[in-house]
Structure 1
Amino acid sequence: MASRPGAWRNILRRQPSSPRKTSTISHISLPLEIPVEEETLPYYEPEHYYPVHIGEVYESRYQITGKLGYGAYSTSWLCRDLQVLKVSTSLPKFPTATDREPKIYGHIAKINSTHPGQALIREFYDSFDLQGTDGRHRCLVMQPMHMSLLEMMGLNPRPFDLPLLKMTVTRLLIALDFLHAEAGVIHADLKTDNQKSTAPPPKQIDESRIIYKSRKFGRPDKAKGYGLPSLCDLGESRIGATQESNPFVQPHIYRAPEVMLDMPWGSAADIRNLAGLIWDLFEGEHLFGAVFDARGGHDPFKHFALIVALIGEPPSEFVKRSETTGQCFDTNGNWVAHEDEVIPTVSLDNLEKRLFGQEKQLFIQFMRSMLKWMPEERKTAGQLLEDPWLQ
């Protein structure tokens, strides 16, 4: 882990940096009327994004050479010294929201551990602030990565094969076991599509703002390969074994039932999340993809009906943990929302189409051990590493 105590001292609060330009780059600009990159995101507010320009130098060290990706809360940039600068959005209503990730890295850096999972967390090097027109932008200097799992899947016509899947799952479990068992951290945002990414043309908005298009990674040559997966993006992570209800963590398709039902949640929510991710990688489609209404909004009735179809109705003990469950289940766990959604006629066995015999049986058992209604009944990351399917 590169986030050593010495490196961590660099992220103590300091005065916001001012960029230094080294050159003027001429380019052909994209039409203003065509939305690109972050402009395509729901609830996009241009003033929340810091106007990073290629060629600028921050902290007298980090010169921007290209854009790697974007998201709702940050943009990522490649620096000349082969480090990645993650520039957070400014959120005036939540001014401390972007402080979470460096705090998590600081917490991890203080842990003196020999656990192999610590080396599988993306390395963090430095942090500083930039002052924008709409507030403060926290910037994180990170270890460069090649591409996300989603991009890797996009370059291949078929989903992961079994050896690649098992290697990837094993490394993710080792990393999660370190976070859960030693660091006391819940990741809360496991997914394939953390955006990381030839220099495509930019879009000139005005004299101060340019929206660049992200560079896309090509397929690596056979000698080098894709590299080994690491666990990234701790922006939604939490410290502590139990968190109070918060229905807005985790992507919809991976969201644990206790999170959706406003119950306290913990590291078992990561395990539930991982089950959906594993299915995506191997089956090539979302296990919980059919949980949206006609307008694209998340439909909790569809979601819970699909969970019932796949793993059965919840035990009464689970139902009693939240008043919200009464919208879908009676006190015995029976489905009562018949007017809102019908239980679909699907199962894990008939949805899984790539395996046969004992391999399929072991895989389904592995999945079921992560999908259980009761969080405390789901296997931990350490227990999953000993599961027969991974042996």
Structure 2
Amino acid sequence: MATADKIEEQTLLRYPQRQYYPIRLQQRLKDDRYTILAKLGYGAYSTVWLARDERTNMYASVKVFVRDDTTTPQVLNEIQTLKHLAGCSLEHSGSGIARLADDIFQIDGPAGQHYCTASNPQGCNLWDLRLTFPDGRLPKVLVVAAVRCLVGCINWLALDCDLIHTEITSRNVLTAVANDDQFVEIERAEELNPSVPVMDGTYPVYRSREEPATARNITGIVHLNDFGSARSASASYQDWWMPDLYRAPEILMRVPWDFGVETWSIGILILELLEGRNLFYPIDEEHNQYVLPVALAQYISVLGHPPLWMIQESTDPTIPTLFDSQGKTHMSCWICEIPIPAFSLEHFVTAIPPGTEKDKFLDYMRRILVWDGKQRATSSDLFHHEWPQMYESQT
């Protein structure tokens, strides 16, 4: 099949190696409990479908994972994490922000078994929502509302569940909706104009029925989704991790990292939602590659130079070659041929005009945007800082 003819999951880089389940509309899963109504989306490890729970006569979002094997550890990790979360205390208010599974089951496919989860259907993700606003910028009150939800959620995950999410991005945060109107619209649209799949051998590939990305039906509450990259919060790590545009600096430097990466992710997310663009973009688009020296130069432009100890303790032999630490007691000097951009946080932030609020916001962000995760603002700091408190009566 020509590249131009590929759609949805067929366009993904590792699609040929991953075996998706050949689901069909109106198919019933788990002893006829879930009737598949429409496709909502797809990802590297799953397809997502709007379904009707015949037991409750309510809508459900059914996620059907690729076949579980040794090449897809994220699948088993997400299933194990969701099972673990189901057994955690739900007394913390942040527990309602994590998108938990109401049901977990397996179905047999042509090449083996596939895990499935069923959850309450939610609205669009924050990435899609912000694109409906001018310049891709969310209103500040919506950003603060989302931050309050996420801060409570990461607190619950760490304290009551011993987990860190590690992949808090605008695509993994879903909006809560006030009612089922949009799902009724999707079901009706499918009935009036049934989707015809593109056949890839014996595998049917459907186009997604896009959920309308609109602020009309959202509640201000968001839900943290996708736990395939979750880790234990009580451990420390030193491997290469996190999405490219959200990667915490301690991971860049290949020194130990832990829960501090969560607040870093939220900080980067805040800037993306407010400004409609990413603070850091160290991607070689021609080769679709992440470029470490470019990333470090961009981080230095905003954070200043990294502490000397990070260079000395890095497990990446490339790191010391980029810095000259001779004669320096606490800091280092950048000697890479890639220049440090003439760039600052003050210039990046334009959604808030100069004045008292911008000063408070910059102080808020500077507590997050630091090299050392141990020195980074805690979730409590994010919640109680002056800047979000300015919007307390509106959220």
Is 1:190 matched up with 2:168?
yes
- CA deviations on 1:240-266 (whole Å, 9 max, x unpaired) are 32243221x321000112223333321
Q: Secondary structure at the match of 1:262?
A: coil
Q: 2:43 aligns with which of 59, 63, 71?
A: 71
Match of 1:296 among 272, 285, 288: 288
Candidates 36, 43, 46, aligned match of 2:14: 43
Question: What does residue 24 of structure 1 align with?
Answer: none
Q: 1:272-351 to 2 correspondence within 5 Å?
A: 272-292=264-284, 294-324=286-316, 325-331=319-325, 332=328, 333-339=331-337, 341-351=338-348
Which consecutive unaligned segments of at least 5 residues does structure 2 have? 54-58, 175-185, 390-395
Residues of 2 paired with 1:151 and 1:227: CA distance?
15
Q: What amino acid sits opposite 2:27 in the alignment?
A: E
In 1, the alpha carbon distance for the partners of 2:63 and 2:206 equals 15
Q: Any conservation in 1 of the 2:173–2:224 contact (CA below 8 Å)?
A: no
| TM-score normalised by L of structure 1 | 0.85
Report what 1:123 is aligned to. Answer: 100
> What TM-score comes out, normalization by structure 2 length?
0.84
Q: Alignment partner for residue 205 of structure 2, among 180, 203, 211?
A: 211
Secondary structure in 1 matching 2:28? strand
Q: Write the distance in 2 (CA, Å) between the matches of 1:144 and 1:128.
A: 17
Aligned match for 1:239, one of 216, 226, 232:
232
Matched residue of 2:35: which SS?
strand
Identify the residue that residue 118 of structure 2 maps to in structure 1. Answer: 141
Q: Unpaired segments of 5 or more residues in structure 1?
A: 1-29
* 1:141–1:373 distance in 2 versus 1, CA, 3 Å: same
Which residue of the partner structure matches residue 259 of structure 1?
251
- Alignment partners' CA distance in 1, 2:321 and 2:304: 17
Query: What residue identity is the alignment partner of 1:348?
Result: L
What's the secondary structure of 1:373's corresponding residue? coil
Deviation at 1:377, TM superposition (A): 0.5
Deviations 1:292-335 (A, max 9, x none): 35322111111110000001001112222213231333445424
Q: Distance in 1 between matches of 2:215 and 2:266?
A: 29
Asked if 1 retains the 8 angstrom alpha-carbon contact of 2:64 and 2:117, the reply is: yes
Identity of aligned residues (%): 27
- Corresponding residue of 2:392: none
Q: Does 1:150 align with 2:144?
A: no
Q: Which moved more, 1:99-108 or 1:57-66?
A: 99-108
Structure 1 stretch displaced more, 135-144 or 170-179? 135-144
The Cα of 1:96 is off from its aligned counterpart by 4.7
Question: What is the alpha-carbon distance in structure 2 between the residues aligned to residue 381 and residue 164 of structure 1?
Answer: 18
Other-structure match for 1:177: 155
Partner of 1:379: 377
Q: 1:32 to 1:300 in 2, by over 3 A?
A: closer
CA distance, structure 2, for counterparts of residue 337 and residue 140 of structure 1: 50
Task: Tell me the SS of whatever aligns to 1:286.
Answer: coil
- In structure 2, how many angstroms separate the alpha carbons of the residues matched to 1:194 and 1:321? 32
